[in-house]
Amino acid sequence: MWRRLRTNHAFKVAAGTTFASYFKLVARTTRFVIEPPDIFETIDERMPVIITFWHGQHFLTPFAMKPHHKAKVLISRHADAEINAIAAEKLGVGTIRGSGATSRNDFHRKGAVSATYEMLDTLEQGINVAMTADVPKIARRAGLGVVTIARYSGRPIIPLAMATRNRITLKSWDRASLNLPFGRGAAVVGEPIFVPRDADEATMKAARDLVQARLEAATARAEALVLETSAAGADSV
């Protein structure tokens, strides 16, 4: 049954539209605190930027932008990801289809080359790019993908973590959070990371480790904020 549904275009459009509507409800009914509170002014000064986050924390990221922030998100070419792509488009976020690869054999098959060029072109046009930081199928371990895009584009990496107090943690490889409405939420942005164009292997690895550390810190802070009883400094994403 699922195999038939996952290839049915009408089903995918319906599912993507439903997901988009659901997460709009979550965003509208969640009391978000933003840290740092002046992050939008900071991002505006540095756009376009490369927004990165852990896989599984990505469902609410389209709402971590203001209406004038144009962005495209990298989404896998896998059939199951088509629903995510449709949902993103319904939320006003453009899509770039492709993903990272764990071996040379599937580098071209997964669209990593074409997606890389499209992300660089998108940034050149002044449009933000959003992508997960994880190594493919390895949760919360940063890979070199986002660092490579930063190196060749010259644009800063902006680590982002979002969490809601009301959620269900799914038993998936990425420990995805299904955010629930009517609760507290937090969006935490880490310090930007710049990668020099002439970065050697050691510099690239150091930048990757910095992405790892800042995403871990942002995630821990977001989790702490949603557990606090007071809502001091609350704002709307």
Angle in degrees, CA 227, 228, 232, rounded to 5: 140
Residue 106: what pLDDT? 42
Distance CA 13, CA 70 (A): 23
Write out pLDDT tens, residues 32-47: 999 999 988 888 889 9
Residue-level pLDDT at 2 = 61
Are 210 and 142 in contact by the 8 Å Cβ rule? The answer is no
What are the φ and ψ backbone dihedral angles of 31, each rounded to 5 degrees?
-85, 105
The whole-number pLDDT of residue 103 equals: 38
All residue ranges of the chain with pLDDT < 50 are 101-109, 229-236
pLDDT of the residue at 236: 46
Q: How many angstroms from the chain centroid is the CA of residue 180?
A: 18
* Number of neighbours of residue 35 by Cβ within 10 angstroms: 18
- Amino acid 3: pLDDT: 67
pLDDT at position 221: 97
Contact 200, 146 (CB under 8 A): no
